[in-house]
Chain A
């Protein structure tokens, strides 16, 4: 549409279209093949360096050819809006989850990519993780609890942490993970279960004591003896506190 944009912007848009899809689009007028080739390579390799760094397992399991092709279609087909380089991998995870990808890919690839990305996300999460204040069991039960602000409760359809060159699962197996950064700024992965995950969800949103949350969970899961449930729950809370998932009681 001549006239809508000044010439210099028409050039920029044509250049960008070509850089994203060098084989499917014409080279912009006035640009030599050698120079355009330099840019096509620089731009794609730059983008790829962020993906290679974040997704070493996905890359290894797909193999160089399929991985490169996937990175190419990501660059071509998926909007790249973020100016923050660390968000490119998150964008890639969204592409795997929501994009229309023609290339046949393993069913678990989206989960595996998310699992690889979440380590970066938690490692750089802007929240500050204070040192947990040690406290005995009783106060934990009698107050609302403060969870680690970097905590992510994840449920994957596939056993993502076991996937490797030697193990490519054929059947899904739901896997619950807690991923968080501890007070020493190390990223921790803890395998957990649906019940614990739900408990943490209740604890995060509740204004009541954690005992109330345990009782609610006992009712939700049809547990016959809430007293016993609270008793075991108290041990679980203590364990979660030792792991740094729960930081202590919430101050009013």
Chain B
């Protein structure tokens, strides 16, 4: 068990593809790493040893993929217990998951949008509460990207997110790239969207790159560099919440060398430094 350590500043998604380079030295700009427990918890051998070598020296954030908070299948308590032990083992203090569903009569292994209804608010908030009780801590929920607005919506997305956060008494993990991707695909003002969220609850931020299909549809691949409009949106976000919220660069495909990723992490740090100090305290 490692002593608890909180993430701060700018961080990078922890991936096996980067381990060789990282083992020669972690660039100073990288203050923390983020990983998916579904990829790393409960394993042994080389991967476990490598992870341990990094978690002994750097804070890690636990960012889940499979919990299916908005899904109809029973909440996976066994998964959560394993995540709880894994976080203790590595001294992690923050767990975030997506406001999405990934399973219905079995896993689908990807993040899907929850119909924005009152029933779904109550259902999802109850599951977040159960999760928080089991982990003994507040969790952050992330606004997800989506390519279809599920039918039957009774409220806007920001109302949906806000209602769940209020009812679950949880934190907001704001993915700035997802806001941008959705604003393009579904035609809304990204900044107005961000302003309508309970920003005082923000515990964590994501930025990432994406891919634009020939017909203009943007797919949230995390497979390319962050584009300028997303950097600008991140800067506007810091103006609202201050520059102290830890922010992670996600990169999951077409992974470039560490130097290229470090340039982007340094960009996060520059924007954080340029922002006013904490404006709103996390609840």
A residues near B (Cβ < 8 Å) are 5-9, 11-13, 15-17, 19-20, 29-32, 34-36, 38-39, 42-43, 46-47, 79-86, 88, 122-128, 150, 181, 185
Contacts and interface: CB of A to CB of B under 8 A. Distances in A.
B65 to A, nearest CB: 8
Interface of B: 38-39, 41-49, 66-67, 71-72, 76, 79, 101, 103-110, 112, 114-115, 117, 119-120, 123, 147-148, 150-152, 217, 219
A79 B67 CA distance: 17
B19 to A, nearest CB: 13
Given A12-B104, A85-B38, A125 B44 contact: yes
A11 B152 contact: yes
Contacts of B115: 7-8, 11-12
A46 B109 contact: yes
Contacts of B46: 123, 185
A88 B66 CA distance: 13
A150 B217 CA distance: 47
At the interface, is chain A mostly helix, strand, loop or mixed? helix
A7 B119 contact: yes
A89 B101 CA distance: 22
A59 B121 CA distance: 43
B108 A16 contact: yes
B45 A185 contact: yes
Contacts of A31: 148, 150-151
Given A46-B110, A81-B106, A123-B46, A6 B147 contact: no
B215 to A, nearest CB: 8
A13 B104 contact: yes
Contact of A82 (B45, B47, B107, B120): B107
Nearest to A38: B147
A46 B123 CA distance: 27
A122 B66 CA distance: 23
Contacts of A9: 72, 104, 123
A124 B105 contact: no
Contacts of A20: 108
Contact of B44 (A17, A32, A83, A126): A126
B150 A83 contact: no
Nearest to B46: A185
B79 A8 contact: no
Contact of B45 (A32, A36, A124): A124
A126 B42 contact: yes
A83 B219 CA distance: 24
Given A35-B147, A124-B43, A181-B45, A85 B109 contact: yes
B107 A83 contact: yes
A34 B101 CA distance: 20
Nearest to A78: B106
Contact of B152 (A8, A15, A35, A42): A8
Contacts of B106: 16, 79-81
B122 to A, nearest CB: 9
B184 to A, nearest CB: 14
